[in-house]
Structure 1
Amino acid sequence: MNTKRVLLAFVVGIAVQAGVYLYLDKVLFAPASDFQIAGTNQQEALGFGVEPNGQSYYSFDKRFMATIVDDQVLIYEAGKKGEPQRINLHGKKVSFFEWLPDRNLAIFATYGYDNETGNYEVHIAQYDPVYPERELDTPIEDAPEDSKIVDVAYSTATNVVYMKLEVAPERYRIYRTDANYDTRRIHVQAENIGRIAVFYDEDIFFYDNLRTGVVYMFEGATSSWREISPVGNYRLVGIDGQDIYVAELNRDDKVIAAYRGRLRQGFTKIATYKTPEDFSKLTLNSMLEASDKMESSGDTNK
């Protein structure tokens, strides 16, 4: 009898838990308007995503979804019927969009001719759908015509934002803005810049020079900089906490090895690619998976 009661209690508990999950999936996060929510098209964390126009982006907890439609950003809230929030861009287009990984705050960049002024403008903006009246919009004062922001690195603890501005094919500038909206150009040791990143809790910025294969760091507080990659041809992959990940490339610009390092400690090889891979297909997650496979196989060819 006791065994039957235990089994019955177990079955009831599983049923209740399943009901909760079903409610969350079918009710709380179900589409609440005529807009059909399809698969997630979240832009890559380092900005190497598809063209934002026509794409949808979900906030970290999936409470909000943003859709880019020409010169408007539409914000939908899960479980809430009615019209979405609309961000009017006054004729400009979106070149970058991303939700922060730990809060319902969107970072996006716009470019184009303003409908009201007729001037060509580039802006970086922050939008909080919970407090939409607090929208922040910062212009890039000396942005050349036809330029646009194509990547953004946000330090969540310091509120410092670094922006990669494309001014011509394979030519970029870096701009920085902070919590005081002090926006300025950062002069870096490269024009053809690849990926960018910043520590989440420090104003320390990272980028690479695609022409020379060197990875650099820049300290915002002192404007000091230095090379951090080993000797050779390297590309920045990303940042995880205080760990810096870079890839070593061969003469054909194919990835042959992965490295992990820290400032003032140097880099250690964590994976070797017996078949060289295209860098465009390399992500921080795939690099960590390659490292785990090497460790599990006992391969010490580092």
Structure 2
Amino acid sequence: MKALKRIIIWVLISLGMQIAVLYYVDNYLFASEGVSNTIVSTKVDDKKEKEKKDVTILVPEEAKNVSLSYDGMYLSYYDEEALKIIDTYTGKEKSIELEDNLQVSFYRWAPDRNLMLISAKKEYNNSSKFLFYSYDAERDLNEKLETKEQNDTALTSNKSAEVEDLQLSPLTNMIYIKTALSGGRSNIHNINIMKRINKVDTKATFIGDIRIIPNDDRIAYEAVTKNKVYVTGRENSISIDGVNKLCLIDVDDNDKIYVGELEENSINGSYKVKNIYYGTIDENMNEWNKVGLPESVNKKDIYISREGKIYINDNLKGIVTELASQKKIEYKGIFLQVYDGGVASVSEERLLETPLK
């Protein structure tokens, strides 16, 4: 009898372990199956295996939110209510169309692949709902984010709320969403690998820029009314001896966080940075590297490459300077952005790309 009881107990234990393993495999290891192959696909860095054609890429004067993908292969902008995508290698143009005549409310290119994250807004009497999509430009494939149960990955919020940022982790494909009300109060949510949305605990009500720490899945974010920078999962803000005001500049591929020391008279929306500090969140912050700037610079004119190079743009002179080497890259027209390998600008409604090398 005792032997039979032992056998039954071991059988139950074995079944329990098998069920636990199967649950993990089904819900986590293979959770991406049937969800969105666009996002979970790995980056393919083949530059399309073709030469860039001698084509002129036009940027209409009325275009808004003009942006290039990480490698400059695709240009995007709003033209009236349409989101346009242009292949800068061929000149081919496409308009992003969503179901039920939904309009794009926000978009952002991924940091390491030609993939775009998109939010669309549905308004109701007293609330709004945001739906999310991923567009793979190289495959020309647009997919709505859905859970494994084929429910919409949706975020319900106040009617006046808007999506202000979307951040994608290159390593795990975790997505972070920043929303803000008309008065500036902000929230951050994440979309996990199962395409479910969860609210993220933060130490600030008014949040500025957010940046994902790529190999960590945490995010750094600004508390704009406090002039502090926090990282999720930590109680205290980033603190450097002798520095009272900080803003978030960027995070590179090696998880180094770049923060700017602000002038005392800096106000939100007009940050003036006089020094840059950078390091990882696990290092002693008082041992972070310091980069002194020759003169104070607007935060919006500072660009950090994925490799950690610091670039300063001078709009008046039309020059981008790499701080470490002091190499200067001259460009024509109105500055657009720094991307992997080049500086993009617009002159006479034409896209110009100036190599960094």
TM-score (norm 2): 0.59
In structure 2, the partner of 1:300 is none
Answering whether residue 24 of structure 2 is matched by residue 24 of structure 1, we say: no
In structure 1, the partner of 2:237 is 227
Shift of 1:230: 2.0
In structure 1, the partner of 2:31 is none
Partner residue of 1:250 out of 257, 263, 268: 263
Answering whether residue 280 of structure 2 is matched by residue 281 of structure 1, we say: no
Mapped partners of 2:168, 2:217: distance in 1? 10
CA 1:239 to 1:230, structure 2 compared with 1: closer, same or farther past 3 Å? same
Alpha-carbon RMSD: 3.4
Shift of 1:148: 0.9
In structure 2, the partner of 1:132 is 141
Mapped partners of 1:80, 1:277: distance in 2? 35
In structure 2, the partner of 1:190 is 204
Name whichever of 89-98 and 200-209 sits farther off.
Answer: 89-98
Answering whether residue 216 of structure 2 is matched by residue 237 of structure 1, we say: no
Any gaps of 5 or more consecutive residues in structure 1? 1-22, 32-36, 42-50, 294-302
Shift of 1:90: 4.0
CA 1:64 to 1:215, structure 2 compared with 1: closer, same or farther past 3 Å? closer
CA 1:62 to 1:277, structure 2 compared with 1: closer, same or farther past 3 Å? closer
Shift of 1:234: 0.8
Deviations 1:210-250 (A, max 9, x none): 1122211114xxxx544223252111111112211111113
The answer to whether the Cα contact below 8 Å between 1:92 and 1:113 also exists between their aligned partners in 2 is no
Partner residue of 2:131 out of 123, 127, 137: 123
What is the one-letter code of the residue matched to 2:130? Answer: V
In structure 2, the partner of 1:6 is none
CA 1:136 to 1:65, structure 2 compared with 1: closer, same or farther past 3 Å? farther
Shift of 1:91: 4.8
In structure 2, the partner of 1:170 is 184
The answer to whether the Cα contact below 8 Å between 2:153 and 2:195 also exists between their aligned partners in 1 is no
Mapped partners of 2:142, 2:291: distance in 1? 48
The answer to whether the Cα contact below 8 Å between 1:40 and 1:57 also exists between their aligned partners in 2 is no
In structure 2, the partner of 1:3 is none
Partner residue of 1:97 out of 91, 107, 110: 107
In structure 1, the partner of 2:213 is 199
TM-score (norm 1): 0.68
Mapped partners of 2:231, 2:70: distance in 1? 28
Mapped partners of 1:217, 1:172: distance in 2? 16
Mapped partners of 2:298, 2:77: distance in 1? 30
CA 1:38 to 1:131, structure 2 compared with 1: closer, same or farther past 3 Å? closer
Tell me the secondary structure at the aligned position of residue 292 of structure 2. strand
CA 1:71 to 1:90, structure 2 compared with 1: closer, same or farther past 3 Å? farther
Shift of 1:79: 3.9
Identity %: 20
CA 1:104 to 1:286, structure 2 compared with 1: closer, same or farther past 3 Å? closer
State the structure with bigger RCO (CA 8 A, min sep 6), 1 or 2: 2
Partner residue of 1:147 out of 135, 151, 161: 161
In structure 2, the partner of 1:265 is 283
Any gaps of 5 or more consecutive residues in structure 2? 1-49, 147-151, 267-271, 305-309, 313-320, 327-357
Name whichever of 59-68 and 226-235 sits farther off.
Answer: 59-68
Shift of 1:87: 1.7
Deviations 1:71-119 (A, max 9, x none): 44344555486x83642264544343222233221112223538xx997
CA 1:133 to 1:155, structure 2 compared with 1: closer, same or farther past 3 Å? closer
Mapped partners of 1:63, 1:218: distance in 2? 33
The answer to whether the Cα contact below 8 Å between 1:233 and 1:248 also exists between their aligned partners in 2 is yes
Shift of 1:251: 1.8
